[in-house]
Amino acid sequence: MKKLVLRYINLPLMISALSLPSYALEAMNDSELSLTTGEGIGVIVDNLSIHSADKRVDPNAPLGPGEFEITLDLVETPDQDQLIFSELRIHKTGTVSGTADSGGNFGTVNNPVFLGDLRTVDIFTGDAADPGNSMMTTTTVMRSEFPGASLSQVDRSNKRQEDNLAGYQAAAAQFESDLDAISDKFTAHIRFDDLIGGGSNNFRAVIDVEGFRFYGTYSDIFATANHGVSIAGATGLYVDQLTVSTSLPTSTSKQAAIDNNDYVTTPIDSRLTFNGIDIYTTLGTSNQPMTLDNVTDAEGNNQLQIEISPLPASVGIAPKSNIYVKSIYFGEKYNPELRTGLRSGMADDGTPENYHYAFQPDVGNTIEIRGMQVQHLRITTMDI
């Protein structure tokens, strides 16, 4: 039997290793800790691009090369009721998904994704129903931000545009310019299918989101009594164009997209397109934190409950959320069936640009939801 023997034990080397200087971790005192406030971790993403191939023609066949699927099982028995997401793509707007130059930048060194700043905030801890009770408790929150968190939503209301169109256009252009400085525009593509009762795969929709960027987005995470983890935050999202298609691309529609330099490749008559979408929503505040709780329903089942706490009567006014949609296309942009009149001074000769169209106002928005205030929101799952 062979024995493993160390032939040359290097005693000086062992001593030298032991002789390396050592350092002790020392506790920080309160004054030193206080100096850390305001610091956090910054993250920037360069050349962000994610690509997966078109879904295979036969959904029952194995995944093809480059395909990617996310499947949600909605019941405990697998492969019965499913939502299936595929063709996931995110890339810089104006580029071709999957190519080496399709990456876009998200954030800058001075305006990055920001994680972990600790700061003190006053949290409402009184009786929400009592107008005279405004008791606040100072607590520590962990702040996280997306690039452009300090940017506010532009007032895109019809009234603003009608009162001062030039002023509105200048503010909107400044907003675009401020966003340009911190993030590229991105385009996303995803396909939805489903499966019901263990049956066959059903195609439902393709969604294309062109030119999207976040602004005013942040979250504060903290703890509240009787709830635990609580969140205050907001999300702002501006999208140039969002298209929902209910038909799959065909060879004809793909060729038409190439001819028209159109990103979306589905048949035009299957599309519903929203242009100039601006969504700003608050998702809890220090007065009305958003909480996640376990609750038991009437049948005794455990359920997940997401709640934005009741608005304290002493506060009275909740932050406002606004949604604007500039215009909507039903199928093609110049749909003859949606003509509402002839433009002033134009010839009635069938030239598409000579007419007004429904849901395409020259000034203002076609959808405007302004001043939404959450008084109290409670969402409870109803799984069995």
Which of the residues 27 through 86 are near another protein (CB under 8 A)? 38-52, 63, 65-76, 78
Residue list 209-238, contact with another protein (CB under 8 A): 223-229
Check binding of 100 to another protein (CB under 8 A). yes
Check binding of 202 to another protein (CB under 8 A). no
Residue list 163-182, contact with another protein (CB under 8 A): none
DSSP 55: P
Nearer to another protein, 85 or 203 (CB): 85
Please report, for residues 91, 242, 293, the alpha-carbon distance to residue 209 in angstroms, rounded to integers and kept in the order given. 11, 5, 33
Please report, for residues 21, 245, 371, the alpha-carbon distance to residue 11 in angstroms, rounded to integers and kept in the order given. 18, 75, 77
Check binding of 201 to another protein (CB under 8 A). no
Nearer to another protein, 217 or 275 (CB): 217
Residue list 300-359, contact with another protein (CB under 8 A): 301-304
Q: Distance between CA atoms of 244 and 100, rounded to whole angstroms?
A: 27
Stretch that binds another protein, among 94-102, 189-197, 329-337, 363-371 (CB under 8 A): 94-102
* Burial (Cβ within 10 Å: 0-12, 13-18, ≥19) of residue 230: buried
Q: Strand pairing partners for 222? A: 230
Helix (H) or strand (E) holding 140, with range, is: strand 136-145
Among 20, 57, 166, 347, binds another protein (CB under 8 A): 20
Structure tokens, 234: 């907001």
**What minimum distance in Å lies between the beta carbon of 96 and another protein?**
10
Among 1, 2, 3, 12, binds another protein (CB under 8 A): 12
Total residues contacting another protein by CB under 8 A comes to 71
Q: Strand pairing partners for 209? A: 188, 242
| CB environment 5-44: b (16+ within 10 A), e (fewer) | eeeeeeeeeeeeeeeeeeeeeeeeeeeeeeeeeeebebeb
**What minimum distance in Å lies between the beta carbon of 210 and another protein?**
18
